A and B are shown apart, each in its own frame.
Chain A
Amino acid sequence: MSSDQRAHLLDAMRPKYVGAPIKRTEDPRLLTGKGDYTADRKPDRPLHLAFLRSGQPHARIAGIDISAAQAAPGVVAVLAADDIADDFKPVIPFSRMPNYYATPIVPLACKKVRYVGEAVVAVIATSRYLAEDALELIEVDYEPLRPIARAEMAVADGAPLLHEEAGTNVLIAREFKKGNVAADLKAAAVRVSGRFEMTRKAPLAMEPRSCCAEYDKRRDAITLYTSSNIPGIVRDAISESLNLPGHRLRVVAPDVGGSFGSKGSLYPEELLICIAARKLRRSIKWTADRLEDVSSSSQAFAEVVDAEMGFDANGVATSLEADVIGDVGAFSIYPWTCGLEPVQVVSFLPGPYKIASYRGSVRGVATCKPPTGPYRGVGRPISTFVTERLMDLGARALGIDPLEIRRRNLVRAEEFPYRIASGIIWDKTGFVECLDAAAETAGYDALRKQQAEARKQGRLFGIGIASYAELTGIGSRISAAPGMPINTGSETAKITIDSTGSITAAFGVASHGQGLETTLAQIVSDDLGARFEDVRVVQGDSDEVPMSTGTYASRSAVLGGGAAKHASKLLQEKIKRVASHLLEANADDIEVHDGNAVVLGTDRAVSFKQIAKAVYSDMKTLPVEAREELSASYTYDPINGTTAAATHIAAVEVDPATCFVKILKFVVAEDCGRIINPMIVDGQVHGGVAQGIGAALFEELIYDDDGQLLSASLVDYVIPSAPEVPLMDVVHVESESAVAGGFRGMGEGGTIGAPAAIANAIADALSPLDIDVSILPMTPERIFRLIEQAKLKAKGQADD
């Protein structure tokens, strides 16, 4: 090969689509009202389902009278637990974790209810209006039991048991240990500590959860359309529970209106709607209203962390100790278990720092609330909040700048791979690079000067930093949730060129707003050598690949992208072999780009269309043995996965009159490896940060001591609207990872860093008043109380 040819080859091999801000292929349909969300399905004469949900937090069901509801207009069936007892097996969220009790998942509450919002009776009618009318006619006789509204109530002596069979309300307990923490804390020059709380949140996707079970009488088969990000897991679980083989149960996640984790577990409603469709041999639709969605979808966080960190005199963190109690709600979820959220807190508390000794213990306790489950960041928004608060407290105690103390403790470039004290291994990632880039972009020194000026005028101006690292795209060696028996370590891509020459790339991953149809097509186009517009990506459909788990845990770019790269390469080799016959050239001398196979350095070429015709249609062009189907499938497992990291910097001002926090500046410097589509990456960061702002300043599911949800409407559960979210600056430190393509997962990071950065900024702003920030959200009411208390304390000291 001449050097010219080599240069030409290199030019052709250079990625053209990966790295470019390609406009999304999803957009034209979504912008014109042509999306296909679950609630938009129009099956033949569907029936409509409505659930009677428990208004009791904890009660025995003494009796249910459905007779009046059965006689109501339009009602086709009314189902309670007894009516479906023989139609399913409970789904068990199994785990090999010791000290774990797996609460069985059933479609309708059986014998007792354990939270307000739990489904008790299902009414199926000819319209949703009529189904809801009939709900009013159902009489449930409850014998109230003592509610468990708080984690501390669950572990108090004499507490009622939520699951009597478990013998305890502690559903999960674990401890991580490394080194001699007690000795290191004792030897520390400075010790800082606190009791930190991240209140319960709702992931709150804008599309409420929705299911449409489409029944096919000819085959006693069901296609379940569901607003889920784990259609493959839902298929496998329902198949097992209902004894319905996979070829008679297809689960499709069509266009899904956001999830953030709330659509990432198996739900009782998914089981019930399939049971009902089979019983009635009819298609059935159900869409949650907002109250149902908030009070029955998996919720988030809800932990209290008692933590202490020790530093040496140089500001090096030597030791960390934490006791975590997680309020996991009434049930363990499938497949992740109730360990997912609280255990992740102790797994990630040491963060990106070289803390030598560590002890982290966690208990997940049952309360009368909906289960907690995955929510963007899982565990790490609170572990980062705690660790970053402790870093700032340490910096303050030692008189070191918060930026500098992080620089002294972050794992440095030459130290990767690095095993932190909880056992997690960080692969090479730009931790310090992110810190430096964020400081530079934020103009950190100038911000500090601005702060000094503001303080002179008596203004409450603060700057907060948060650095974190996360594991993304994890493979088979690490379970996405501890001890879980399902395989979350691989994903499959199947790419086919059909007889018309067009390309379909099928995946089991399930986009719910991330734009995977676009980004996966970018990868396939580059690695196959196709034109972007010729590639159609199909995803979110259990029929497309034999097994898949879906899109969660920042995995789809790494696992789906890796599978796409490998399958593309395999298919390209087939294309080259066919082209070598057609072009009478050596396969090694053929390059593939823009939908053509070309003999290097010549103008001799055949298009994919001509290749498809030769393989599938012309009986004489190719020898029989050369007519290989133009299809390739690859299941990719990154084994360990890869790290992603970022530093967030926030500047805020607290208005002492209204106690509102205004975010003046927000900077993110993040390392997500090689960027597939910078436009989409920025969008993911913006959205994640906005959710982090919500967690830090506004959002809180408030349950009273009787277990009643007081903030179930969007008036009471306040998510940020446009005026509350500042302009964000996002910079990228693109250090390639070791997985296929060099990608790292990045969908969750925004929500991990933002709460901690804002908490630190508020604490910094309020530091002249000697106020600490240890609970989120910092609502105006909380800030008001803290300021008032600080004033009283100052007055008391003055009086003394």
Chain B
Amino acid sequence: MNDKKDQAGQPPKSEIPPSLKRYLWRIAIFMTAYMAILLGGLSLKNSANPPEGLFAYALAIATALPICGVFWTVFRLLVEMEDEYQRFLVAKQIMIATAVTLCAATLWQYLNVYDLMTEGPEWLGVIWLVMFGLAGGIVRWRP
């Protein structure tokens, strides 16, 4: 059978699916915003007049918001993905990242209850993102 004839009239298939392109753009935008706000905020914090009161609150929230945007981007990818198998893999990635993060938080909580660990994994968002990245390799290695 002739492939070219069968595909006549179909648009040429893009290498990167549109949902993935949007994902990469959104990640780039949020991470650029995060770096800019973080660097600006830290230089203010380390200056002679560090921010106080409402401005400090606003700065803290402004630094966290782009990271929330990264989480939103990941969940949008799950909704927008055209390919159901790839969507299934991303869903598994999210489940693994969430399970590991919740286990880390629970473990820390009980170590804290027994006064064995006063400082724990405060950067739960970062743990989730790192696990999401690692789980990407795991689910594609063993789907």
A binds B: no
Q: Which residues of B contact A (CB under 8 A)?
A: none
A interface list, Cβ under 8 A from B: none
